[in-house]
Structure 1
Amino acid sequence: MTEERLYSKDHEWILPLGENTVRVGITAYAVEQLGDIVYVEVPEIDAEVSVGSEMGTVESIKSASEIFSPVTGLIIAVNEELEDGPELVNDSPYEEGWFAEIQLENPIELKGLLSEANYQAYVAELAAEEEA
C-alpha cells in the first residue's frame, strides 16, 4: 500500500513507493502555471540529486522551468515516455506524467514536505497574493 502524496513549495509531488523509494512529478498547479508542456528533460539514471538541486527541465509554450529534487538520493528510474510524449504531464500530472523514481538517501527528509491539505492551503495563499 502506498502512502499519500507529499508536496514541495516548488510544486513537485512525491509519492512514497516503499523501501525508501519515491516517485516525483510536478503538480497540476505547476502545469496550469506553465501552460501546455512541449518538452521534458528527465534526469539520468544513477544521477545523484539533493534537496533543491535541479533534476530536469520542462518547457512550455510560455517558458522553460527547472524541476527541483524535493529529496536527496539516487535516480533509479525515469519516465522515458515523456521524451516522445511530454503532453502526458499536461494530461495526467499525477499518474502518467511522473518524472523519476529516487532511492532515498535520507528518508527523514519526507517529514519536511507538505501534506496535500497543507499544499492546497499554500496554493490558495499564492492565488490570493496574485489577486491582491
Structure 2
Amino acid sequence: MSIVDRINRLIMCRMERTLPVVEGDSLRIGREVLPLAELCGVVAHEADVHAGALIALTLAFRNGSGTMVTQDDPCWNDLVSALDRLSLTSAPSRDWISAVLAGASAGSPIVLRRDGRASA
C-alpha cells in the first residue's frame, strides 16, 4: 500500500461515512436494509477520491434511497459478486469493469440498470 493510499484511508475514516455492508441479497447502510432486488438504477463510473480515481457504482433503489460504493469500500467484492449472481446488471462485472477502465480518461458513466430493468 502506497503512502497516498494510507492517507486516503485515514481521511475516509475521519469523514464519518457509514460504510455499506452486503448481507445475503441485501445492502445494509447503518440501520437501513436495502434488498438488491429493489434496485432500479445502477451506474458504473470513475470517481475521483482525494489523490486518485476509483471505479464506483451509484445505486438507486425503488424506495428512493441511493448510495455510491467504490472499489475501495470493504463491501465492493461482495456487492459485485451479488450483482453478478442475481443478474441485476445488463453485463457481467468483468465486462463493465473493463469498460470503465478503458474509458476512464473519457469519464463516461455506464448505465447498467435503469427503471427496474437491465438496460441494453
Give the TM-score, by structure 1 length: 0.29
Kindly indicate whether structure 1 or structure 2 has the higher relative contact order, using CA contacts under 8 Å at least 6 residues apart: 1
Give the TM-score, by structure 2 length: 0.31
